Structure formats: C-alpha cells, structure tokens
Amino acid sequence: MTPSKPQLPVGNALIGQSGGPTAVINQSLVGVVEGLRGHKNVKKVLGAVHALRGIVDGKFIELNKIGRPRLERLAQTPSAALGSSRDKPNAEYCRRIFDQLNRHNIRYFFYIGGNDSSDTCRIVSEMAKLDGYALHCFHVPKTIDNDLMCNDHTPGFASAAKFVAQAFMGDNLENAALPGIKINIIMGRHAGFLTAASVLARQNKSEGPHLIYVPEVPFSVEGFLGDVERVYKQHGRCLIAVSEGIHDSEGTPIITKLADAIERDSHGNVQLSGTGALGDYLSAAIKGHMGKDARVRADTFGYLQRCFAGCVSPVDAKEARQVGREAARHALLGVTEGSIAIERVSSKPYKVRYRLINVREVAAKTRTLPPEFIVNGNNISESYRGYLSPLVGKLPVIETIR
C-alpha cells in the first residue's frame, strides 16, 4: 500500500470526532495533531466542530495554534473536544463533505470514530479518487463497544470497562451488605464486551456478578427469572449484569416490549440508553415472579460509563494517543487511505503493535463477543479476565471479613 516514492500533497489537514464520546477520544485527537506537527506539506491542522456538520458548515478550529501544555490537558479531558455528531451521511451528504474538503484544500483527513465513521471515511476516500483529488484519508478507531473488526480491542473500551468493573466492585459489596436482587444495565447494542467487563469485579465464585447477559445470546424472560431464583436461593442475594441490547430469539430488543414510544436515531437504531425502562421492566418481572419479600433494585449505568472524569485506563490513554500518531505517520509516509488496528502481540507481558489496515475491513461491520467467553448463555468465563485485565490495569483494593 505504500508507494516507493510517495508524492505528498501540500495543503491542510482536517480532523473530526464522531459518534459517542469516550474518556480517551481526545488522546487520539492530540495524537494526530502531534503526528502532523512540523511537516512541511501540512499547513493548517483544522478540527471540524461537531464532525460532519462542522465540515459541511465550514466550522473549524485551528488545532496547530494550540500550545503543548494545553493540548496535553485536552488529551486528558473526556468526551469529544471538537464536538460530535450522529449524522448518518448518505451519498449526497458525502458529496457536500468532499466539496468542503476541496474548497479548504484539505489533503489529509482523519476521522476518529467507530464502524459507521470508518464507512464515511471509505466513501469520502472513494469520491476523492474518482475526482482525481489527492486526499490522504484515515479512520482512527474509537468505540467503548469494542466492536471493530481486525482489532484486538478499541480505544475507549478499556476505560469504560474500568468504570463497569469499579461500579460492580462497589455494588457487589453493597449487595452483600444489604442483600437482595440487583440488576445493572450496561451499554452495548450488539456486542457484550462492556457488559462482560463486570466479571472483573468478581472476587470468587460466590461473589457477584452472579449472572451476566449479553446481546450475543437470545434472551428469554422465563429463563432469566429461573436463573435469578436459583442464584437467590443459593446465595441469598443476586447481582446481575445485563446488556441494554438484549433481544429475544427473533431479534426484537427486550426494551421494545415495554417502551410506550420507541425513539429511533438517524441510523434507525432504537433508543436504548438514557432511560431506566429496561431495568425497571426486569425488576418488575422479578417482583412478579418472586413476590414482595425480595428486595429488587435496578440501576442503568447510562452515559456515566463512557465519559466519567477520572476513570481512565492508562493503557487505553496511551493506545488512543498512539493510534492517532500512527494514522498521521502513515498519511505522511504517502499512504492514501487506511485505518489503524490494534493487534495484541502478547498478554504476559502485555504488548501490542499497530497495524495499517484497509478501511473496508472495519467499515460498517460489527465484531461481537467470541462464543468461548460466554458460559451457559448467562455468564462470562474467567478466560475473559485474562483478555481484559491487561487493558484495564490495576483496580482498587478489596478486602472482606465475612
């Protein structure tokens, strides 16, 4: 993919941040800025305000004018500093984007986001090629869902997983102190990686989370009630992790069974987050099944899990920075299109390498939790801990005396 004598275009660079923010998405932004800094062919480094919308409206911020100390603070700040967007571009929208790139002499384009964002990158890159417009177009991976193909894991995921693990560590102890049945709803429409992260909180077999439900397994309310009753009889309490995206065997999300008015986004997705409806529904089902004696509670982690200030995995922060730098490096080596993937070299000691991949390998595709991590359809294996622990890093001390 790298030509032997690359002809690097001269012009400006543009960076956008798309989709749901993460705790480390600004590390990637700063990584790209650092990677481009000082190169003679790159004049301005612009940031698109609210992603695609900013491009279409010509709303940019000059990132190369920001000093290093401020950039470093920015890298440590959660959520997308440039602003994000959930617009789903069609061909006409991509045409408008491309026209703006042309107008502003953008020759290096970096789009930080998930699988939808990589598809936008692909379309824009193809338009440039058709028009014979020299554009180096890169997707920079980001998603707490951890659902990009070709990646061992994605930037943003480990910090969200750390939040889920720490929340469950506390909540398991709370559930042990005041025994009852507790449901926690975790983000994840199609992929259960983040919900599965709750297993990191489990100190031993009798501790919670006792049950873990991911969207990779069709959900049956009857089966769920039987599981909960069995665990409650055995331990006198039950702590449960549930993906917001659980659905029945026909693929219908459980949340649609109860919501009066289903809200959909521009991608046609049902609104799963920002409501306690699924937790309350499962809670009511348990109360109906087990009677009033059981103390049943549900919490929905919601948006807290992806941008909580101060809950960042150091490995995640470092890798998020590096994927940005790598994208810039390849662009300046003359590669005209691609995405950066994280590949694990070894777990002990933890080591990764960054691979340049074809953007079509990730575009609009979804990776799900491998079946070997799922146990009995209602739990997660200890082997998942081996996969996840090096990413999340050190967790708080837990000591018990009962």
Residues 122, 247, 306, 329: which binds its own copies (CB under 8 A)?
A: 306
Residues 28, 84, 117, 336: which binds its own copies (CB under 8 A)?
A: 84
Beta bridge partners of 246: none
Residues 12, 27, 28, 85: which binds its own copies (CB under 8 A)?
A: 85
Taking CB under 8 A as the rule, does residue 401 contact its own copies? yes
Region of 35-43, 79-87, 113-121, 320-328 interacting with its own copies (CB under 8 A): 79-87
**Backbone angles phi and psi of 380, in degrees to 5:** -120, 140
Nearer to its own copies, 173 or 225 (CB): 173
Residues 152, 299, 343, 361: which binds its own copies (CB under 8 A)?
A: 299
Taking CB under 8 A as the rule, does residue 77 contact its own copies? yes
Taking CB under 8 A as the rule, does residue 290 contact its own copies? no
How many helices (H) does the chain have, and how many strands (E)?
12, 13
Residue 389 contacts residue 313 (beta carbons within 8 Å): no
Nearer to its own copies, 20 or 245 (CB): 20
Nearer to its own copies, 8 or 258 (CB): 258
- CA separation for the pair 194, 283 (Å, rounded): 21
145 is catalytic: yes
- CA separation for the pair 81, 75 (Å, rounded): 9
Residues 9, 303, 355, 389: which binds its own copies (CB under 8 A)?
A: 303
Q: What Rg, from alpha-carbon coordinates, does the chain have?
A: 22
Taking CB under 8 A as the rule, does residue 63 contact its own copies? yes
Taking CB under 8 A as the rule, does residue 34 contact its own copies? no
Among 296, 318, 43, 24, which Cα is nearest to 175's?
296
CB of 399 to its own copies, least distance (A): 4
Q: Cα dist. 281→171, 271, 288, 294, 367 in Å?
A: 20, 15, 11, 16, 28
Taking CB under 8 A as the rule, does residue 304 contact its own copies? yes
Taking CB under 8 A as the rule, does residue 262 contact its own copies? no
Q: Cα dist. 86→63, 89, 117, 302 in Å?
A: 22, 9, 10, 17
- CA separation for the pair 118, 340 (Å, rounded): 11
Residues 12, 17, 146, 336: which binds its own copies (CB under 8 A)?
A: 17
Residue 182 contacts residue 299 (beta carbons within 8 Å): yes
The label of the residue with tokens 């940031």 reads 47
3-state SS assignment for residue 293: coil
In the numeric block, which tokens belong to residue 4? 């032997």
Region of 83-91, 100-108, 146-154, 379-387 interacting with its own copies (CB under 8 A): 83-91
- CA separation for the pair 175, 54 (Å, rounded): 46
Residues 35, 78, 113, 245: which binds its own copies (CB under 8 A)?
A: 78
Alpha helical stretches, state H, 291-346: 304-307, 314-333
Taking CB under 8 A as the rule, does residue 182 contact its own copies? yes
Residues 32, 49, 94, 128: which binds its own copies (CB under 8 A)?
A: 49
List all residues 6 or more positions away from 5 whose beta carbon is below 8 Å from its beta carbon.
none
- CA separation for the pair 10, 159 (Å, rounded): 37
Give the active site residue among 87, 145, 227, 316: 145
Among 94, 74, 90, 70, which Cα is nearest to 82's?
74
The label of the residue with tokens 């920001």 reads 66
CB of 284 to its own copies, least distance (A): 8
Taking CB under 8 A as the rule, does residue 170 contact its own copies? yes
CB of 116 to its own copies, least distance (A): 14
Taking CB under 8 A as the rule, does residue 52 contact its own copies? no
The label of the residue with tokens 């190369």 reads 64
3-state SS assignment for residue 83: coil
Residues 83, 155, 192, 253: which binds its own copies (CB under 8 A)?
A: 83
CB of 372 to its own copies, least distance (A): 28
Region of 74-82, 210-218, 240-248, 359-367 interacting with its own copies (CB under 8 A): 74-82
Residues 60, 193, 219, 301: which binds its own copies (CB under 8 A)?
A: 301
CB of 368 to its own copies, least distance (A): 25
- CA separation for the pair 119, 4 (Å, rounded): 27
Please report, as ranges, the residues that interact with its own copies according to CB under 8 A. Answer: 17, 20-21, 23, 47, 49-50, 61, 63, 66, 70, 73-74, 76-86, 166-167, 169-171, 173-174, 176-178, 182, 273-277, 279-280, 283, 296-304, 306-311, 395-402
Catalytic residues: 145
